[in-house]
Amino acid sequence: MKRTIYILMTILLFGGTASGQTPLLVENFEYPQGTLLTTQGWLAHSSGGTNPILVTSYGLTFTGYIGSGVGLAAGLDNDGEDLNKRFDVQTSEGPVYGSFLVSASASIEPGADGDAPRPYFFHFYDPENNTAHRGRVFIAPGTQTGKMNVGLSFNGNAAQVKMATDLNFNETYLFVLKYTIIDGTNNDHVSLYVFPAGTDYVTEPQNPTLGPVYATGTQTDIAPTGVALRQFHADQRITVDGIRVAREWSVATGTTSDRKVSETPQMLVYPNPATDGIINLPGLSGVEKNVEIYNMAGIKVLELKTGEDVIDLSSLSSGLFYVKVHGAGLTYTSKVVVR
C-alpha cells in the first residue's frame, strides 16, 4: 500500500506552553489534497463556491517554526471565493498576532484587468462587517524581474506602505501580522513582520518590517474575530500555511511553547511526499544512529538502530508521527505523516 509521509515536530514530545496561554486559532491544513476549506470550518464571505480555495499537495517548511511542515497548505490561485476562519471575538486592549507561512511563485500588477489596485491575500476579519478587512497584506511583482514585493494597509485597496527591498518568488517566509487594539474610537493600528529563513524571530523586534499603519478617512476599528484568505486573480500563485493567532508573540510564533524544539535542529527528509513508507535521513550519513517514532499521543511506536540512511516506515498505520534521530552526539527532530 502506498503511503504519503511528512515529517513533524511537536510540543507533545518536548514540553508545554511556558506562558500557560494557548493560541486562539491554529490551522495547519491537515486535510487530504483537494479538500474544500469550507468543509473544514472556513466560511465564505465572498463568491462562495466560485473557484473555491482548496488544500494543495505540499505544505510549507520554515526551520524552527511550530507550524512548519505540518499537514498541507492552502492555494490562493484564482479569482473567486474568499474565506474566513473564526476565533473568539477580541475586544480587550493590546495586540492580536496572526503568524503564517507564505510562498508565492507568481503575482500580478496592482490594477490588473482594470480593477482597483488590491492584490491583497490575507487580513483580519470581523463578521459584523464583511468589508471591514483590517491588516491587508499584499504581494505584487517587485521592481526587479523575478522578485516580489510585500505591502500593508489598514483597510485600503492599495498598500499604504511597501517593503524597501524585494523578496524572492518560490521562497518560504514567516509573516506575523499584528492588529493592536487601542481604547477609544478609530485609533487601532496594524503592523507586519517579515522573516526570511535563518532570521531570529524568538522575540518581537522593536521595529516592524512595515507599519504601524493607522486608519484613514472613514475607516473604522474592528473587533478581530477571524483571519481571512483572499483570492484576486487567476494569475496569482500564493500558498499559505501554518496559521496561528494569539494575544502573545511567543504563543503565535511558538517560540515559548516550542523553545526546546527550536534548540533542536530539524532534519529535512526526502522524498516528501514519500512512497511506500521509504524515507531518507540526510545529515547523519553513514553514522550509527538511533531512530525513534512517536504517535500523536506521544507514545513510542517504533525504535531502531541503524547505520543506513534509508528508513522503512511501511509497517506504520496511517496517521501523524514524530521522529527523533540521534547519532554522533547530535539529535535531530522531524515531522512525519503516514497515509
The residues, ordered by sequence, that sit 6+ positions from 165 with a Cβ below 8 Å of its Cβ are none
Cell (9 digits) for 258: 516550542
Asked if residue 293 and residue 318 are part of one domain, the reply reads yes
* All residues at 6 or more sequence positions from 48 whose CB lies less than 8 Å from its CB, including other chains: 38, 81
Residues 250 and 283 in one domain: no
Single-letter code of the amino acid located at 186: N
The pLDDT score that the predictor gives to residue 24 is 96
Question: pLDDT-derived band of residue 284, with 50, 70 and 90 as boundaries?
Answer: low
CA distances from 154 to 81, 222, 255, 259 (A): 22, 11, 27, 32
**CA 75, CA 83: separation in Å to the nearest integer?**
12
Same domain, 304 and 333: yes
Strand partners, 228: 84, 123
If asked whether residues 311 and 244 sit together in one domain, one would say no
Give residue 296's pLDDT: 56
Query: Mean pLDDT over all residues of the chain?
Result: 83
Q: Please check whether residues 312 and 228 belong to one and the same domain.
A: no
Residue 54 belongs to a domain with what CATH number? Answer: 2.60.120.200
Q: Are residues 81 and 204 in the same domain?
A: yes
Q: Note whether 118 and 108 are within 8 A (CB).
A: no
Domain finish residue from 255, 279, 308: 255
* pLDDT tens digits, 58-91: 889 898 898 888 889 999 999 999 999 999 999 9
Return the sign of the alpha-carbon dihedral for residues 201, 203, 207, 210: positive
H/E segment holding residue 161: strand 161-162
Model confidence at 109, pLDDT cuts 50, 70, 90, reads confident
Residue closest to 66 by CA, chosen among 249, 244, 272: 244
Q: Which of 217, 235, 255 is the last residue of a domain?
A: 255
Between the alpha carbon of residue 116 and those of residues 79, 81, 108, 111, 236, the distances in Å are 14, 18, 12, 5, 16
pLDDT at 17: 38
Quick one: residue 14, left, alpha or beta (phi over 0 = left, psi -120 to 50 = alpha)?
alpha
Q: What pTM, to 2 d.p., does this model score?
A: 0.73
Does 155 share its domain with 244? yes
Band of pLDDT at residue 282, cut at 50, 70 and 90: low
Number of domains into which the chain is organized? 2
- Rounded CA gap, 197 and 268, in Å? 14
For the segment 179-238, what is each residue's pLDDT rounded down to a tens digit?
999 998 888 999 999 999 989 898 999 999 999 999 877 778 999 999 999 998 888 999
Cα 223–chain centre separation: 22
Instruction: Let me know whether 290 and 247 are in one domain.
Output: no
Most confident of 12-16, 71-75, 113-117, 300-304: 71-75
CATH number, residue 316: 2.60.40
Which cell numbers hold the place of 96?
A: 492580536
Torsion of CA 329, 270, 202, 102, to 10 degrees: 170
Query: If you compute the radius of gyration of the chain from its CA atoms, what whole number of angstroms results?
Result: 20
Q: Which of 255, 290, 306 is the last residue of a domain?
A: 255
Same domain, 139 and 283: no
DSSP state of 224: -
Its domain, for residue 198, covers 17-255
**pLDDT at position 335 over 50:** yes
Same domain, 192 and 235: yes
Q: How many Cα atoms are found within 13 Å in the side-chain-facing hemisphere of 160?
A: 19
pLDDT tens, 264-281? 455 566 665 556 777 777
**Same domain (yes/no): 317, 189:** no
Q: Same domain for 289 and 215?
A: no
Instruction: Give bridge partners of residue 331 from the DSSP assignment.
Output: 326
The reported pLDDT for the residue numbered 114 is 63
